[in-house]
Amino acid sequence: MRTDCSFGDPCASTIDRTHRRRRLPAYDVAVIVPQDARPFELSIFCEVFGVDRTADGVPPFDFAVVSEEPGPLRTAGGAFGLQTSHGLERLASADLVGVAPGATPACTVSPAVSAALWEAVERGARLVSVCSGSFTLAAAGVLDGRSAATHWMHEDLLEQLYPAVRVVRDVLFVHDGPIVTSAGTAAGIDACLHLLRDVFGTTVANAVARRMVVSPARSGGQAQVVESSVPDPDGDDRIDQLIDWALENLHDDLSVEAMARHSYQSQRSLARRFRAATGTTPHAWVLEQRLRRAQQLLEQRPDLHAREIATAAGFGSPSTMRQHFSNRFGCSPTEYRARFVPHAESLDAS
């Protein structure tokens, strides 16, 4: 999994730096809406990505709702219709493709929609579905071999229709590679906020959450994120406590050896339990948390220098942090911070 803070522009690294700072491309979001779309689920996308919140420090979005067939569409319940402004060709430029659910789970997908979804994945775009929208993704085959969530009422059906999809139950959403699938209705909000945080960082996600008056999403960041709505009954106390401790002590030695000692188990058992509980390895998890911490400090503490941030986040040196930061977010810590400093863009205007 790779996050690119250059807003998904694959050519960003070749673009002149001052040009990039002066005019950031808007993050391009396109939502596919089917016939008999559910108004609430579609509205989630509109609320998160279709509202200009640049005044709150949120990047601009280029937001569009598209449908395969032009012309007026019915909505589920039939109380009103809707008219989209674009066809599927609009998906070609999208950094993020949303899939809105219809009244019933879609058991088929048109070749055109399927091709557009595959094209988006191969281009490096992200996909997000809400509720039974995961059926559209599954029908297109992009979920094959991946974990996914859907509304609890349809979990069995999804599993039967698409054996290649690993259905995760009792979760709000699942993030596997470039694809986020969310369970019923309101969980779509959590999924979208998670995506925002993944792409733009904690500050942006929290700003949107605050405006929408919902609680900011937590956790995540592994190769495969599963956000649970209820405490996992199979949860591992040893790992949970270890995680709490590690998050409090990111600046300290969090080698596998140290973590094993702290949780009174062998390194081998720690590795196994950790993977069972989080889906990732101890070291990879620590690295991700450290990157998050660094990201957060870059956003919120302009008084700290790179070395201080590296130390606080637990990196041995600024160059180690820089290496991982670039690898994970596609830009250096300094470049990242520049996005959050209001004057950085105007300063170098000639």
Partner DNA sequence: CTATTAATCCGCCAAT
Partner DNA sequence: TAATTGGCGGATTAAT
- Report residue 194 as tokens: 């998670």
> C-beta of 335: minimal distance to DNA in Å?
16
Side-chain half-sphere exposure of 347, counting CA atoms within 13 A: 7
**What span, in angstroms and rounded, lies between the C-alpha atoms of 115 and 302?**
45
Can residue 324 be called a binding residue for DNA (CB under 7 A)?
yes
Residues 162-191 that bind DNA (CB under 7 A): none
Residue 11: Cβ within 10 Å count:
7
Residue among 54 and 320 whose Cβ is closer to DNA: 320
Q: Any bridge partners for residue 83, and if so which?
A: 72
Residue 298 C-beta-side C-alpha neighbours within 13 Å: 28
- Of the residues 46, 186, 256, 312, which one makes contact with DNA according to CB under 7 A: 256
Q: Of these, 252, 320, 341, 348, which contacts DNA (CB under 7 A)?
A: 320
Instruction: Determine the residue type at 241.
Output: Q
Instruction: Give residues 268-287 in contact with DNA (rule: CB under 7 A).
Output: 268-269, 271-273, 275, 281-284, 287
C-alpha to C-alpha distance for 183 and 175, rounded to whole angstroms = 12
Q: Cα–Cα distance between 175 and 179 in angstroms, integer?
A: 6
Instruction: In angstroms, give the least distance from the CB of 332 to DNA.
Output: 12
Check binding of 241 to DNA (CB under 7 A): no
Query: Is residue 108 a contact point for DNA (CB under 7 A)?
Result: no
The answer to whether residue 332 forms part of the interface with DNA (CB under 7 A) is no
- With CA atoms as reference, report the closest residue to 40 among 126, 105, 101: 101
Strand partners, 175: 180, 225
Counting contacts by CB under 7 A, is residue 13 touching DNA?
no
Query: Quick check: 157 binds DNA (CB under 7 A)?
Result: no
Binding-site member from 35, 114, 219, 267 for DNA (CB under 7 A):
267
Interface contacts to DNA, rule CB under 7 A: 255-257, 265-269, 271-273, 275, 281-284, 287, 315-317, 319-320, 323-324
